[in-house]
Structure formats: C-alpha cells, structure tokens
Amino acid sequence: MALPTRTKYLIIGAGIHGLSSAWHLAAGLRKSGRGGGQDILVIDKTEVGAGASGIACGVIRNNYYQPAMRRLMAQCVSVWESDPEAFSYHPVGYMQISPEVMHAQVATIAQQQKEIGYESVFIEGEKESAAYMKGLFSDWQAKGITSVLHEKKGGYANNMASLRGLTGKAKQEDVRIETGVKVTGFRKDASGAVRAVITNKGSIDCDYVVVGAGPWVKQIWDMLELPAAINIKGRDGKMHENVPMWTFWSLQEGTLGVDPKLQRTNAGQLPPVLHVDTDAPLHSDVDGKLITDKLWGIYYKPDFHFGGVQGGAMPFKVKADPATVRIDPYGPASPDFVVGEDFARMWCSALAFCQKRFEGQYKVYKREPSGGIGSFTADNFPVFDRFCQNVYVIADSNHGYKMIGVGKLVAEDILGQPSELLAPFRFSRFAEGKLHPTSNSPFPWS
C-alpha cells in the first residue's frame, strides 16, 4: 500500500508517546464526532519500538521531588493501571532507599504523595530502615541508608509487549502506522505553520504534526528551525543567555544473567523495583578496589523479559547526539562519570553491596544492548508544547517510557481540552524563570 500523500494528523515516532497520542487522539475524535483514526498517520524511520521505548528498563514510579512531575506521574500510573494485561504492566511497587543527605527531600516527596492520595509508606532512621528492608529481604546489607519510601503503586512494564498493546489499541481505532519512513524536512507556509512533512518516501501534506521522536527530538527540532540555544531566567532572577537547549547522556543499564526468581521477597513474592542511593563507599565485588566514595545510585528488578535481574546506574554526559555517535555501554566510563570503572563492574558490585545473594555474580553479567543515549532539555525536565502554530512537540527529557499518560493529555490538548498537568512543562518556563526544583539525587532526571 502506497504511503498517503495527505493526512489530517501526522505523528512522528512509533514509541510510547507516538502510539499513546495516536490511540487517545483517535478515540477523542471518534467520541466527539470529529473524525477518527482514519485521520491519523503514525510514521517511524525504522519500526515500532525500534528506539528508546523498545529497550527501556520499564520502571514506572512517582518518586519525584518536583510537585509537577509527581502529579503528572500519578496520572500516567492511572493509564498503566487501566489495562495491565495489554500493557504488560506489573504493579509490584517501587522503593526509594536513601542516605541522610537525601532524607529531608524524600520526606517532602512522601508528604506530597500523601496529599495527592498516592499510597506509600515512609520509614525514617537507620535502624528502622534496615529492619524494614530485612523484613522484605533477609540478606539486605546496604550501608548508609536512613530512609525508605515504599510506593505501593507503580512497578514496571515489559517494553515491547506494552508497545504491542498500544499498537493494538491504536489500530482498533483505525490509526494507520507506516514504518521505514524517515523525516527529512518540513514545508511551512508564509505564517510559519507546517503544511507538509517531507520524508524519504515522499511529501505528506497535513494539518497537524505531533513529534514523539524520543532521543531523536533534536533532529526534528533542528528541521523545524527552533532555537539551538535559549535564554533562561535563573532562580536568582538573572537571565542566563545562550544556554544549549539539548544535552546528551549515556544511559547505563544492563542485566545480570541469573534466574529472575533469585530476586524474591522473604515471602516468595515478586519484589518492588528497588532504587538505592547512598554515600557509603562502594568497593569492587571482584577485587575489592574502591570504585567511588561519592554519592552513587542504582536501580534493579527481576525481569523475565530480560531474562535476569535488570536495572541501571547513573548516566554520564556525552558531547554528541544520537545521530552522530554510538556509545558502548560496556566500555570505559567517561571522565565526567563519578564511577571510575566500567558500568558492569560498578553495577554488579552495587548489587552485592545491597544484597548478599548477588555477591560473586559479576561473571554472569549479560553483555547485550541496553541503555543508549538520552536527549535532555536545558533543565533536564520535559517540554510539552506547541511550536510553529500546529506542531506539538513531546520532548520527554528521558523521563519517557513511564509517561504513557502524556499522549492522552496531549490528545486532549489538541482537541481543545488543555490540562493543568501540562502547564508546568511549557517552553515559556525557561524565559519566565518557572523552573522545577532539583534534589540531591545523583541522577540528572531528579
């Protein structure tokens, strides 16, 4: 079947955002009597899930210090919960396990989760935290922990299975999905609105464009002739000029090739996703050498899709973007990275630091594709906004996969029902100085 030469709504990217937007937009058009999925075309330069969504760790959490992120994630979790089977969603919960330097900020998260009705349990004190963790895992041995925030909602989803579920929902609404279609440019009218998207397979006229390109958002941004550098009003009231709009980080993730059943609770159940931050020194589980004595963090979970215990650690900044570089996640760490050894050794040693069952397991680390490059905005938080009059850009700043609900909000916004949940993520926040607060976490997205 030939590629259409015209569509009302053209969505770029067949990942979590593109597919969610297509599904919800089609349903909204149908319910309002304004059309339906036949008015929507999703294109992807490779195939469904070929980008970041297809290799995502899949963690779904609401552990954010930023109130706007916390409210938005509560909405996203509700979408995951709406059809766990279709989305391959596992609601096992999520735990933020933290050192004293993060105690007060995590306490704030716990209080505000309570205020929005997001169920969680907050444990304070070193002895109390250790007792709580040993109540779940008898071999728990992490040091430097003074608080535990146990979110009862959230968990993780299997990446490609969830995308197949979204694809099915979009197709049920008659959305058309075309793969192998790469965007090469845009044609604008005299007012600056986009009237056609130019691809390697021809030009497609359209009334509206939604960009859900994940880490490749900068390439689309550049094609739209949007600013490469911006001015930001800082919290000090001063204007900071020519700040790069985009930075890029190498995401450090991998899998320990053990039986996923190795990571069970004392009661034999699937455990919550564990995120551990600590400033206790980390030594190699292989030779005992010091890896770092600075604040570090990891996250992990048993995952039958990945075939082991899967997770990651802090990313490191790189100079190039996804279009020009491939980062080897198993090679030497960047000089900017706080850990001085390769990711695999650091992460496996950190697992052993947390639980005795992982000691001596470095030898079964699986060297397979995971992680990748993340495109971050100037303040490391998402931008969801209109540009060029009729282009809606979903720039998730690597918060992406868990944000399945953003597509629903974007679709409603396009159809004239704006949500206050998206307001804090408008592009105007940079010039207005309405920046999100940042925490002491070693992760840039927190």
29 vs 63: which has the higher pLDDT: 29
| Percent of the chain whose predicted confidence (pLDDT) is above 70 | 92
What value does the mean pLDDT take over residues 78-82? 97
Q: What is the C-alpha separation between 17 and 304, in angstroms, rounded? A: 24
249 vs 21: which has the higher pLDDT: 21
Question: Average pLDDT, whole number, for the chain?
Answer: 91
Q: What is the C-alpha separation between 138 and 147, in angstroms, rounded? A: 18
Same domain for 311 and 178, yes or no, is no
Same domain for 335 and 261, yes or no, is yes
| Residue 82 lies in domain | 1-90+154-242+380-446
Same domain for 217 and 168, yes or no, is yes
pLDDT band, residue 321 (cuts 50/70/90): low
Q: Is 80 exceeded by the pLDDT of residue 442?
A: no
Burial of 111 (0-12, 13-18, 19+ CB in 10 A): exposed
Q: What is the C-alpha separation between 25 and 407, in angstroms, rounded? A: 8
Write the pLDDT tens digit of every residue in 242-259: 999 999 887 788 899 999
Cβ neighbours for 127, distance < 8 A, ≥ 6 positions apart: none
Q: Is 50 exceeded by the pLDDT of residue 269?
A: yes
The answer to whether 148 and 96 are in contact (CB under 8 A) is yes
> Which among 154, 379, 142 has a CA at the least distance from the CA of 277?
142
pLDDT band, residue 334 (cuts 50/70/90): very low
Q: Helix 67-82 and helix 103-115: axis angle, to 10°?
A: 50
DSSP 11-76: EE--SHHHHHHHHHHHHHHHHHTS--GGGEEEEESS-TT-SGGGG---EE----SSHHHHHHHHHH
Same domain for 429 and 284, yes or no, is no
CATH number (domain holding residue 307): 3.30.9.10
Q: What is the C-alpha separation between 80 and 90, in angstroms, rounded? A: 9
Cβ neighbours for 43, distance < 8 A, ≥ 6 positions apart: 10, 11, 12, 14, 177, 178, 179, 181, 183, 197, 199, 204
Write the single-letter amino acid at 381. Answer: F
pLDDT at 444: 63
pLDDT band, residue 125 (cuts 50/70/90): very high
Q: Is 155 left (phi over 0), alpha (psi -120 to 50) or beta?
A: left
CA distances from 166 to 22, 42, 158, 170, 261 (A): 9, 12, 12, 6, 28
Among 349-353, 366-370, 383-387, 433-437, where is mean pLDDT lowest? 366-370
pLDDT at 396: 94
pLDDT at 332: 37
Determine how many CB atoms are found less than 10 A away from the CB of residue 359: 15
Structural domains in the chain (count)? 2
Q: What is the C-alpha separation between 212 and 394, in angstroms, rounded? A: 5
Strand 290-292 vs strand 282-283: parallel, antiparallel, or unpaired? antiparallel
pLDDT band, residue 330 (cuts 50/70/90): very low
Same domain for 267 and 122, yes or no, is yes
Same domain for 316 and 328, yes or no, is yes
Same domain for 15 and 63, yes or no, is yes
Q: Is 90 exceeded by the pLDDT of residue 342?
A: no
Q: What is the C-alpha separation between 125 and 113, in angstroms, rounded? A: 20
Cβ neighbours for 31, distance < 8 A, ≥ 6 positions apart: none
Strands, DSSP E only, in 325-426? 365-366, 372-376, 383-387, 391-395
Same domain for 364 and 251, yes or no, is yes
pLDDT band, residue 328 (cuts 50/70/90): very low
pLDDT at 335: 33
pLDDT at 38: 98
Q: Is 70 exceeded by the pLDDT of residue 415?
A: yes
Q: Is 70 exceeded by the pLDDT of residue 340?
A: no
359, 376, 393 - which closes a domain: 376
Same domain for 186 and 148, yes or no, is no
Q: Is 90 exceeded by the pLDDT of residue 358?
A: yes
Q: What is the C-alpha separation between 224 and 418, in angstroms, rounded? A: 23
pLDDT band, residue 445 (cuts 50/70/90): low
357, 376, 395 - which closes a domain: 376
What value does the mean pLDDT take over residues 321-343? 43
pLDDT band, residue 339 (cuts 50/70/90): very low
Among 41-55, 166-180, 335-349, where is mean pLDDT lowest? 335-349
- Tokens at 395, concatenated: 């720039």
Burial of 8 (0-12, 13-18, 19+ CB in 10 A): middle
| Global confidence as pTM | 0.91
CA distances from 383 to 125, 207, 303, 319, 337 (A): 37, 22, 31, 21, 26
Same domain for 401 and 339, yes or no, is no
CATH number (domain holding residue 193): 3.50.50.60
Q: Is 60 exceeded by the pLDDT of residue 273?
A: yes
Q: Is 60 exceeded by the pLDDT of residue 338?
A: no
Same domain for 57 and 165, yes or no, is yes
pLDDT band, residue 437 (cuts 50/70/90): confident
Q: Is 60 exceeded by the pLDDT of residue 329?
A: no
Q: Is 50 exceeded by the pLDDT of residue 327?
A: no
pLDDT band, residue 140 (cuts 50/70/90): very high
323, 352, 376 - which closes a domain: 376
**Termini Cα distance of the chain:** 45
CA distances from 281 to 291, 300, 349, 382 (A): 8, 19, 11, 33
Same domain for 196 and 129, yes or no, is no
Q: Is 90 exceeded by the pLDDT of residue 438?
A: no
User: Using alpha carbons only, what angle is made at residue 54 by residues 412 and 85, rounded to the nearest 5 degrees?
Assistant: 65
Q: What is the CA radius of gyration of the chain?
A: 22
